Amino acid sequence: MAKTAPIRVQSTCPHDCPSVCALEVEKLDEQTIGRIYGAKGNSYTSGTLCAKVGNYAERVHHPGRLTKPLRRTGSKGVGLEAFAEISWEEALDEVSDRFKELSKKYGNETIWPHFYAGTMGLVQRDGIERLRHAMGYSRQHSTICSAASDAGWKVGTGVKRGVDAREIGEHSDVVVLWGTNAVHTQVNLMHHVSQACKRNAKLVVVDPYRNATAKRADLHIMLQPGSDGALAATLMHVLLKEGLADREYLAEYTDFSVELEVHLEGKTPEWGEAITGVSAATIIEFARLIGQNPKSYYRFGYGFTRSRNGAFNMHAASCLPAITGAWKYKGGGALYSNAELFKLDKTLIVGSDVIDRNTRVLDQSRIGEILSGNPIDLQGGPPITGLLIQNTNPMMVSPSSLKVKKGFERNDLFVCVHEQFMTDTAAMADIVLPATTFLEHEDIYIAGGHTFLQVAKPVIKPYADARPNHYVICELSKRLGAEHPGFEMSTWELIEETLNRSGFPSAEEIYKNNWLDCARDFEEAHFLNGFETPDKKFHFSPDWSRLGKVNTSMPEFPDHYSVTDKKSNTKPYRLVTAPARQFLNSSFTETPTSQRREGRPTAKIHSDTCESLDLEDGGVVRVGNDQASVLVHVEVYDNLQKDVVIVESIWPNQNFIEGIGINSLVSSDPGHGIGGAVFHDTAVWLRREESQTA
Ligand SMILES: Nc1nc2c(c(=O)[nH]1)N[C@H]1C(S)=C(S)[C@@H](COP(=O)(O)OP(=O)(O)OC[C@H]3O[C@@H](n4cnc5c(=O)[nH]c(N)nc54)[C@H](O)[C@@H]3O)O[C@H]1N2
Ligand SMILES: Nc1nc2c(c(=O)[nH]1)N[C@H]1C(S)=C(S)[C@@H](COP(=O)(O)OP(=O)(O)OC[C@H]3O[C@@H](n4cnc5c(=O)[nH]c(N)nc54)[C@H](O)[C@@H]3O)O[C@H]1N2
Ligand SMILES: [Mo]
């Protein structure tokens, strides 16, 4: 008898990624899935899906999934054997009793609900904010990912949206992927890029190393990390000088001024070459390509904003489609993120109606300093003595990870972690709660990379005793006495009411139609009705103070803003910790296929550098700075500048030879502007290590 194919159930990928893929999940029975596919019917996902999510059965059915609430009975950092199983009632009671005790002693700001985007589902990700606000716990400035890039983009355009990426395939003549390794981090974008390349569109990649995306480029701009502002200013210089700027567009849609033009006169290709390390001729070639092809589409990523000058550089790069008037054309313009396209009223989910603006706001990326009691970070408030963590793994992903570890080791710190796995962070907790995956709970999703709103229902039953984030937040609210209508609603009711308040169709209707396309019309999407700044113009000379906290030393016009961690005689190399293909931040580091395909952590180093330091492929190098040193295997890699080192990330700390991970080297200095972690902005030294071999 012919075997029938398993049924496929629609869902949405919840992981922290611009693609937010529409999925088809093979359902084998009530508990089990088979393979996952990208939905063919979705015109952005287009049936493309990354390998790690295709193999999701390995993650959701992983033997390491947490099954029961746990109380730590042994030492911190050991893992499962240091914990004993308890009931949900006991666990939730203990967390709320301890939080009440600590609040009584220090005030409510002593508790820090710490979260990020382990799931991008709005209910399961952001519900922790409602508990925070209803209780007056310490607030969080989310700086680990998009603070710098948001600031740099919005200061020019006024709003976090851009041109629909589906225009690329049919209409763009040039595609510029700037500081995004799309093959690793948002592979479906490459489907649209390939369509364009079939029509002979040219692909330009701006990245310090020839990564998987740059390998596909017609022109790879292999610049020094942190030099994007200089590159953008030089390109503008050439465009103006060669008559390739769109003067009419500049006059109508921007604040372009004589002063800016005079400023750019000095940004010659030779000036640019000295800073970026890219030859003047190559910069001119790039300028001519975008100047002679106004249907140029810029996809700006996050990578180049993870520097002290990252926000500034994002703004500088975002000036290019304005100089050439690319915004005017179908297939022209730019996208950084569409997150503000959707305009959902999230009040019920995040409890924004009960925020006490007097409570302090802690910088997420400075968790090491905060837990160590740095008075500046604590802003005159009490120490953090209670942490509730969902959706993030700060022991692995945060800057200055040795400081973070020291903070978690404090004996007077009470930590509850709600997780799917015994992560490095969960291993430091007092109470661990088992969490469902997206296949086991409901949620609603918007996207950065496309225009679809999606609603998802569970595909399978919750694993063992795992429960969703919404359950934990509501149960704690009861015990802590937090009040808000959102605590009284089911996940589905929250989704329904959020959609209702935002003027969208019902959740059932959106689910029935698989998704809702929220794309704006051509004029709106291309800002031809004006940008969303106060005077509706694009700003070359932006008012950074509109974003709140300002750094007054920020130059007025696009330029090289020289505030990065500079090379010196003692630290002559620049380290970039770019994402690995088979992992997603710290997620998927547990799945066997991802581990096998990644192999082991390596430092990509130029062969001339290897020769001068007597390093060999497969040998071992010590990479260090004033914070730490990390021992890692050498990978000879010629496609980068000689003073640049790449360690693709984020490998678990224990996978490094001495158990010290790459984020030990990353500074927790905030990026200039409104902050932002500086993962790709680190000066280091390299040393051959005699005692270790491959
Ligand atoms: N496979 C995989 N996918 C992911 C992730 C992952 O870890 N792995 N992470 C997810 C998350 S949370 C995010 S935010 C996105 C991020 O995805 P992206 O937008 O792609 O950003 P990054 O991954 O930080 O960096 C991308 C590229 O920026 C380059 N870069 C570093 N410094 C500079 C610089 O100064 N100038 C320029 N021009 N380029 C620079 C790096 O070399 C790297 O190739 O990806 C998501 N998708
Ligand atoms: N060196 C270096 N470090 C980096 C970066 C880099 O490029 N280089 N990138 C940075 C960036 S861009 C980001 S965004 C951060 C991200 O860092 P994290 O926020 O830690 O990101 P993830 O590893 O995606 O997810 C964290 C955890 O959420 C859990 N999780 C997933 N879904 C759920 C759920 O429904 N409920 C609960 N309770 N838990 C869930 C997962 O099991 C996972 O352990 O890392 C940053 N760190
Ligand atoms: Mo991120």
Residue 509: predicted pLDDT: 98
Pair of tokens at residue 469:
């984030």
Residue 255: predicted pLDDT: 98
Q: pLDDT per residue over 283-315, tens digit each?
A: 999 999 999 999 999 999 999 999 999 999 999
> Is residue 211 classed as helix, strand or coil in its secondary structure?
coil
Residue 295: predicted pLDDT: 98
Backbone angles phi, psi at 312, to 5 degrees: -60, -45
Decide whether any atom of ligand 1 lies within 6 Å of the 458 Cβ: no
Pair of tokens at residue 99:
């939080």
Residue 486 parent element (H or E): none
Decide whether any atom of ligand 1 lies within 6 Å of the 392 Cβ: no
- From the CA of 142, the nearest ligand is 2
**Mean of the per-residue pLDDT values of the chain:** 97
Q: pLDDT per residue over 374-403, tens digit each?
A: 999 999 999 999 999 999 999 999 999 999
Residue 109: predicted pLDDT: 98
Delimit the CATH 2.20.25.90 region(s) of the chain.
7-60
What is 573-688's CATH topology? Barwin-like endoglucanases (2.40.40)
Decide whether any atom of ligand 1 lies within 6 Å of the 304 Cβ: yes
What is 7-60's CATH topology? N-terminal domain of TfIIb (2.20.25)
Nearest residue (CA) to ligand 2, atom 16? 585
Residue 1: predicted pLDDT: 58
Give residue 392 CA to ligand 2 midpoint distance, Å.
5
Residue 548: predicted pLDDT: 76
- From the CA of 425, the nearest ligand is 2
Q: pLDDT per residue over 467-478, tens digit each?
A: 999 999 999 999
Percent of the chain clearing pLDDT 90 (strictly above): 97
Q: Provide the residue count of the chain.
A: 694
Nearest residue (CA) to ligand 2, atom 18? 392
Q: What is the CATH number of domain 70-142+345-443+457-484?
A: 3.40.50.740
Atom of ligand 2 nearest to the CA of 662: 1
Decide whether any atom of ligand 1 lies within 6 Å of the 574 Cβ: no
Decide whether any atom of ligand 1 lies within 6 Å of the 460 Cβ: no
- pLDDT class of 694 with cuts at 50, 70, 90: very low
230: Cβ–Cβ under 8 A, 6 or more apart, which residues? 267, 271, 272, 275, 276, 559, 560
- From the CA of 115, the nearest ligand is 2
Give residue 148 CA to ligand 1 midpoint distance, Å.
13
List pocket residues of ligand 2, CB cut-off 6 Å.
16, 116-119, 124, 144-145, 390-393, 397, 418-421, 423, 435, 469, 577, 579, 584-587, 649-650, 662-663, 666, 679
DSSP characters for 637-674?
A: --SB-TTEEE--B---GGGSTTS--GGGSS--PPPTTT
Atom of ligand 1 nearest to the CA of 585: 7
> Which residues partner with 38 through β-bridges?
23
Residue 201: predicted pLDDT: 98
Q: Any idea what the Cα angle at residue 47 is, between residues 46 and 51, rounded to 5°?
A: 125
Decide whether any atom of ligand 1 lies within 6 Å of the 277 Cβ: no
Alpha helices in 392-442 (DSSP H): 394-397, 401-408
Give residue 398 CA to ligand 2 midpoint distance, Å.
10
Q: pLDDT per residue over 194-212, tens digit each?
A: 999 999 999 999 999 999 9
Ligand 2 pocket test, pick from 586, 655, 682 with the greatest ligand atom count within 8 Å of Cβ, gives 586
Backbone angles phi, psi at 198, to 5 degrees: -60, -25
Neighbouring residues of the ion ligand 3, judged by CB less than 5 Å: 145
Give residue 144 CA to ligand 2 midpoint distance, Å.
10
Q: How far apart, in whole angstroms, are the C-alpha atoms of residue 625 and residue 608?
A: 21
Pair of tokens at residue 409:
């080791």
Delimit the CATH 3.40.50.740 region(s) of the chain.
70-142+345-443+457-484
Pair of tokens at residue 158:
């006024």
Residue 692 confidence (pLDDT) above 60: no
> Which residues partner with 392 through β-bridges?
none
Give residue 16 CA to ligand 2 midpoint distance, Å.
7
Give residue 272 CA to ligand 1 midpoint distance, Å.
23
Nearest residue (CA) to ligand 1, atom 28? 303
Give residue 399 CA to ligand 1 midpoint distance, Å.
16
Nearest residue (CA) to ligand 1, atom 36? 304
Ligand 2 pocket test, pick from 65, 585, 632 with the greatest ligand atom count within 8 Å of Cβ, gives 585
Q: pLDDT per residue over 341-371, tens digit each?
A: 999 999 999 999 999 999 999 999 999 999 9
Delimit the CATH 2.40.40.20 region(s) of the chain.
573-688
Decide whether any atom of ligand 1 lies within 6 Å of the 21 Cβ: no
Decide whether any atom of ligand 1 lies within 6 Å of the 578 Cβ: yes
Q: pLDDT per residue over 475-520, tens digit each?
A: 999 999 999 999 999 999 999 999 999 999 999 999 999 999 999 9
Residue 562 confidence (pLDDT) above 80: yes
Count of other CB atoms within 10 angstroms of residue 353: 13
Residue 691 confidence (pLDDT) above 60: no
DSSP characters for 590-623?
A: TSHHHHHHH-S-EEEE-HHHHHHHT--TTSEEEE
Residue 417 confidence (pLDDT) above 60: yes
Residue 693: predicted pLDDT: 47
CATH superfamily of this structure's domain 149-336: Dimethylsulfoxide Reductase, domain 2 (3.40.228.10)
Q: pLDDT per residue over 614-645, tens digit each?
A: 999 999 999 999 999 999 999 999 999 999 99
Nearest residue (CA) to ligand 2, atom 24? 118
Q: Give the Å distances, CA to CA, from 659 to 282, 652, 655.
A: 41, 8, 6
Q: pLDDT per residue over 572-604, tens digit each?
A: 999 999 999 999 999 999 999 999 999 999 999
DSSP characters for 344-404?
A: ---HHHHTGGG--TTS-EEEGGGHHHHHTT-HHHHTTSPPP-EEEEES--HHHHSSSHHHH
Burial of 639 (0-12, 13-18, 19+ CB in 10 A): middle
